[in-house]
Amino acid sequence: MPLNSKRNQEASITISNKIVIKVSEEFVDLTGYYKEELLGKSYKELSKILKSDFCDEFGSVSDEIDIYIFTKSLEPREVIISKKIDHEKMNILYFFYEKENSRIENKFLYAEQLCLDNRYGIGIYSAPDLTLLKANEKYIYYMDEPFNRKENCIGKSIEEIAKDFKEDKIREKWISVIKTGKTGYVKDFMSDRHGTGATYFDSAIVPIYEDGKVKYYIENRIDVTDRIRNKMVIKAQAAEIERRDKKIEAIMDLADEQISIFDKSGRLIKISKVILELFQANKISNINDIKDEIIIFDVNKNKIEFEESKFSYIEKGKEINNYRVIIGTRNLEKHVVISGKPIFDRKGNFERYVLIIDDITEKVQAKIIEEQKNKLEAIIRNMSEGLFTIDKEGNINILNSSAKDFFYNIDLANKISENFLKVKFYDSNDNIIKPENLPSYRVLKGEKINEYRMTLKRKGLEYHFNVSGSPLYDEDGDIVKALLCTRNVTEQVNSNTIIKMQKKQLEAVIENISDAIYIADKEGKIILMNAEGRGLLSDYYAVKNADDFNITKQAFDTSGNEIHVENLSLKCALRGEKIKNRTIIIKRSDKELTIRVNSTPIYDTSGNLIMALACYHDITDLAEKEKIIVEKYRQLEVLKEEAEIANKIKSLFLDNMSHEIRTPMNGIFGTIQLLEKTPMSEEQSKYITLLKNSGNKLLTIINNILDISKIEAGIHKLNDGKFALKKITDDIYTNLLESGNSKGLEIRYYFDPNAEFIAIGDELKLKQILDNLISNAVKFTEKGYISFRVTKVSSDNDYVKIKFTIADTGIGIDERFKSKIFGIFSQGDISVNKKYTGTGLGLSISKQLAMMMNGNISFESTLGEGSTFTFTCSFKKSDYYEKNIEVMNDNKISEDDNINNLWMNKVILCIETNSIDKEVMESIVERKGCKYIHAHNISEALKILNCNYVDLILLDMKLNKLEDFEKIKEMRISRVKGKNIPIIGMSSYTIMENREILMNLGIDHCISKPFNVEEIYNIFEIYL
């Protein structure tokens, strides 16, 4: 077909260097392949995909070729291919034009439908090259491996894919069709399909013409295997019938006793010996006679009805193979194996039936006897008791494995006399047994022996046997053998011996045990009473049963109530009751006893009561000791109460001491701080500093002594509140910087950013611990540095663990004092002329406080090099600041003397009993421009509140009476009714340590005396 001008719009592919580099959409539509499946493929790979070597078909001058290619679904497409060479790009373009009306599925609708039906094998080949263009599954099934799959045979020649094409019959037929152009037929052709057996088919090869030439060949294959096989079966049956006839004639000549022959009506033509023995010959003439008389069982003696047995096959003309049954009548029974075959005439009609009955009764009975013998021997061989027989000459005939224990060495001698030479025999009374009196000889004399106990002694060991024996007689009644049975009872005898010994030991234990033991049978009769039991009862000889236990004595409970005999231990146990550790008092005529009683019923394996057991333990001495202990305990309770009273007195003393010392100290400190704010000369300022430092040292000593006293008294408590941890440590660092720099020391400070949070804990105790550790570092370090580090160790949802580390390059600690460093009043140098001053309380108090805060203090130190103290503690986390904490930490008042305009004319009511503290506080208040009102007590303050406007109340907490607390509540109520007046508590008492109590009373904030003036001004800043 000539090329047209629109060829470049047809299906095309571009190949460069034998690789596909471009595929048109029309080519995709033509073949059904995706571009991705074709791009990048080599020429050989493309030829394999399209099942066509079209590139090789072009000659040096050919412009186009007519060829078949195959789609992705293996459908043939007849196309005209032309090529164009792009010399500039070194590419070859192939154009594919599908010939009009060339599709097979449209040309051969009938063949296409046959392919789809798949009842017959349809294969369509191209002419003249015989390439398979299309085939259904039925046709492909006849191909050889691997061509019996569509993808492996479509597009290949018949010579390559069809094994049977090489057979002369098929090849000749194809050659004939090709030469003549006429339809060819092959009938009954055999093919071995993949080794699955011979199959047969008929083949019709039809040439299809176009334009006067053969264009296609269609082969139609029809499976005729069943037809051929039926022919073969009929032919084989005819041969078999003839062979059987001859065989039957030969068998009948050789096996007259086993064979019975029936005709098709069931009449007996020949009767076997077995049937003659089972039935009277004159009564058996046909199969129905046998049916009425015969009884049939299977090998398990289950009855089988005639119609259900294979005897019914005789009438049906069915074959019987080795059918084993038991047959018989009322008088006779035989085991038989039955086989039978029908005989057919040449036309295949049932004519006769030959029945062979093999009598195996004797074989079966012999087998049963053999099995019984084997079972008996197995029983004898595996019996736990020994069994052996001895003939009259003394020979051992039968001997099982258990009987070998009875003999010295049965493998060396078979005569009983030889085995008894090295063994001595004794009776149950340990008397030696003479040979003629041994059981074997006695039985051979006709005596029967039953369970005769004897002992064998050999090789220094003893064996105990029970021997039984009986004589065996022959048909004439003469004794021929002795049958003996031995049972080894050595373990039983030894166990009985041990049990007897243990019984004696148990009786000795019971007799000598320190508890009184009484055992009564179920009727209440006393069957056992040990020595202690007899000793407990002065009248034991009169006690015969459980009812006799109160004849000459009385029993009482611990409350003094008499116990009736029915409620005593044995009587309770006989009723099935248990008593555990009951204490009773027994009053005898001679003395009174305290007894601890236990009793229990005893049952047999069936749950029936058989006896009762009671144990009496004399605890008279123990009871007396308990009385003494109770008295001692009472005395201890009295001492405890006295100690608690003393502790309260000590607590009160400490409170009073705290107040009496802190009150004048507050006046001293307040006066010093006020003096600092007045104009002074350099000399005066120096003296004030000396006073201030001395006062601080004195206050530290006083606080330490009070703290250690409270710790020892157990009254030191933590006062938890919220505070900013970083603010606390920053303030401590500021003080450290001042004191350290004054000695020329390098100060290092690090605060872990992860440790910055609002903590809940005792702020004052934390400061006290850190101040102690840092002041020690400053005191004992002359040169070098002091390092203060705060780091976060761990945290969870509620708590944060913090580590404080104070390191110095000071004098260090001597090894001799390391174990004592946390002791009270412990110091490295305790001489009067010691270089470093101190009481030795700081570390002891710090350690105790750290432990109260669920923390700890540890240290490492080298003499002459320095020390490192580590303080760890856990604080609860808080998510917010309280107003007083937030402001106090972040808004310090400046230290100048300028009057805060915000405080001008603010009215402050001070309730103070001490005149010096009153004067000091008045000066502090008025320095800031505030109005000062004084009240000596709360009652006076309440009156002032009713008449005056007050902005802030300063309350001295010298409270000794309950009325004072009630008045604070009254003041609080007054405040609530009037204005919201803040109350600031001030005290030198230890009650300040329990802020929760004060807050419940209405106190807004608490400060301890002596206080810092700046602390007062910070409070003004918060509450005014």
Mean predicted confidence (pLDDT) in 307-313? 85
Clarify whether residues 207 and 120 are in a common domain: yes
In angstroms, the CA 584 to CA 564 distance is: 12
Q: Give the pLDDT score at 282.
A: 55
Q: Which of 274-278, 342-346, 526-530 has the lowest mean pLDDT?
A: 274-278
Whether 80 is covered by a domain: the verdict is yes
Give the sheet arrangement for strand 184-192, strand by strand.
132-135, 121-126, 213-223, 198-210, 184-192
Q: pLDDT tier at 28 (50, 70, 90 boundaries)?
A: very high
Q: pLDDT tier at 26 (50, 70, 90 boundaries)?
A: very high
Q: Which of 155-169, 673-687, 708-722, 929-943 has the lowest mean pLDDT?
A: 708-722
Under 8 Å between Cβ of 674 and 692: no
Amino acid at residue number 890: D
Domain finish residue from 98, 113, 131: 98
In angstroms, the CA 495 to CA 403 distance is: 22
In angstroms, the CA 1009 to CA 989 distance is: 8
Under 8 Å between Cβ of 239 and 246: no
Whether 641 is covered by a domain: the verdict is no
Most confident of 535-539, 809-813, 831-835: 809-813
Whether 999 is covered by a domain: the verdict is yes
> Is it the case that residue 572 has pLDDT exceeding 80?
yes
> Is it the case that residue 13 has pLDDT exceeding 90?
yes
In angstroms, the CA 22 to CA 180 distance is: 46
Domain finish residue from 55, 79, 98: 98
- pLDDT of 444-483, one tens digit each? 899 999 989 988 887 778 889 899 999 989 888 899 898 8
| Helix or strand holding residue 89 (H, E) | none
Mean predicted confidence (pLDDT) in 972-991? 69
Under 8 Å between Cβ of 325 and 338: yes
Q: In the chain, pLDDT over 70 holds for what percent of residues?
A: 84
> Is it the case that residue 243 has pLDDT exceeding 90?
no
> 3-class DSSP state for residue 825?
coil
In angstroms, the CA 862 to CA 864 distance is: 6
φ and ψ of 972, to 5 deg: -65, -45
Clarify whether residues 829 and 926 are in a common domain: no
- pLDDT of 730-739, one tens digit each? 988 988 888 8
> Is it the case that residue 789 has pLDDT exceeding 90?
yes
Residue whose C-alpha is closest to residue 86's, from 5, 16, 24, 35: 16
Clarify whether residues 996 and 906 are in a common domain: yes
Q: Give the pLDDT score at 233.
A: 80
How many Cα neighbours within 13 Å face the side chain of 720?
Answer: 11
Average of per-residue pLDDT values in the chain: 81
Find residue 65's DSSP bridge partners: 81
Clarify whether residues 476 and 570 are in a common domain: no
Clarify whether residues 870 and 908 are in a common domain: no
Q: Which of 52-56, 899-903, 969-973 has the lowest mean pLDDT?
A: 899-903
Q: Which of 255-269, 552-566, 653-667, 985-999 has the lowest mean pLDDT?
A: 985-999
Q: pLDDT tier at 748 (50, 70, 90 boundaries)?
A: very high
Q: Give the pLDDT score at 962.
A: 52
Whether 411 is covered by a domain: the verdict is yes
Clarify whether residues 742 and 789 are in a common domain: yes
- pLDDT of 155-198, one tens digit each? 888 888 877 676 667 888 888 888 888 988 888 887 776 566 77
Clarify whether residues 735 and 874 are in a common domain: yes
Mean predicted confidence (pLDDT) in 379-384? 75
Token readout for 53 is 């070597």
> Is it the case that residue 881 has pLDDT exceeding 70?
no
Clarify whether residues 272 and 349 are in a common domain: yes
Under 8 Å between Cβ of 207 and 127: yes
Instruction: Give 168 or 255, the one with higher predicted confidence.
Output: 168
In angstroms, the CA 70 to CA 77 distance is: 6
Neighbour tally for 123: CB within 10 Å? 27
> Is it the case that residue 892 has pLDDT exceeding 50?
no
Residue whose C-alpha is closest to residue 790's, from 847, 872, 849, 845: 872
Clarify whether residues 357 and 239 are in a common domain: yes
Q: Which of 106-120, 199-213, 401-415, 516-530 has the lowest mean pLDDT?
A: 401-415
Crossing angle between the packed helical segments 842-852 and 682-713, to the nearest 10 degrees: 50
- pLDDT of 928-975, one tens digit each? 889 999 998 888 888 888 888 888 999 987 755 556 667 777 776 665
Bond preceding residue 207 cis, omega within 30 of 0: no
| Helix or strand holding residue 971 (H, E) | helix 962-977
Under 8 Å between Cβ of 921 and 670: yes
- pLDDT of 394-445, one tens digit each? 888 788 877 777 776 665 546 666 666 677 889 888 899 888 888 888 988 9
| Helix or strand holding residue 63 (H, E) | none
Q: Which of 24-38, 86-100, 950-964, 984-998 has the lowest mean pLDDT?
A: 984-998
Q: pLDDT tier at 693 (50, 70, 90 boundaries)?
A: confident
How many Cα neighbours within 13 Å face the side chain of 549?
Answer: 27
In angstroms, the CA 357 to CA 753 distance is: 109
Crossing angle between the packed helical segments 682-713 and 620-676, to the nearest 10 degrees: 170
User: Is the Cα torsion angle 191, 195, 199, 202 positive or negative in sign?
Assistant: negative
Q: Which of 15-24, 263-272, 383-392, 646-655 has the lowest mean pLDDT?
A: 646-655
pTM confidence score: 0.36
Whether 249 is covered by a domain: the verdict is yes
Q: Give the CATH number of the domain where residue 901 resides.
A: 3.40.50.2300
Under 8 Å between Cβ of 471 and 444: yes
Residue whose C-alpha is closest to residue 429's, from 455, 450, 395: 455
Domain finish residue from 98, 129, 161: 98
Clarify whether residues 240 and 216 are in a common domain: no
Q: In the chain, pLDDT over 90 holds for what percent of residues?
A: 16
> Is it the case that residue 896 has pLDDT exceeding 60?
no
Q: pLDDT tier at 6 (50, 70, 90 boundaries)?
A: very low
Mean predicted confidence (pLDDT) in 995-1017? 79
Instruction: Give 392 or 111, the one with higher predicted confidence.
Output: 392
CA-angle at 652, arms to 651 and 658, nearest 5° = 90
> Is it the case that residue 118 has pLDDT exceeding 70?
yes
> Is it the case that residue 631 has pLDDT exceeding 90?
no
Crossing angle between the packed helical segments 725-742 and 763-779, to the nearest 10 degrees: 20
Bond preceding residue 146 cis, omega within 30 of 0: yes
Residue whose C-alpha is closest to residue 707's, from 819, 839, 859: 839
> How much of the chain is helix, strand and coil, in % rounded to 5?
40, 30, 30
Q: Give the CATH number of the domain where residue 113 resides.
A: 3.30.450.20
Q: Give the pLDDT score at 61.
A: 41
Whether 627 is covered by a domain: the verdict is no
In angstroms, the CA 449 to CA 441 distance is: 11
In angstroms, the CA 25 to CA 214 distance is: 34
Whether 2 is covered by a domain: the verdict is no
| Helix or strand holding residue 60 (H, E) | none
Q: Give the pLDDT score at 785.
A: 94
Clarify whether residues 29 and 153 are in a common domain: no
Whether 767 is covered by a domain: the verdict is yes
Mean predicted confidence (pLDDT) in 119-146? 87
Clarify whether residues 42 and 143 are in a common domain: no
The domain tally of the chain equals 7
Mean predicted confidence (pLDDT) in 860-887? 76
Full domain range(s) for residue 69: 7-98
Neighbour tally for 442: CB within 10 Å? 18
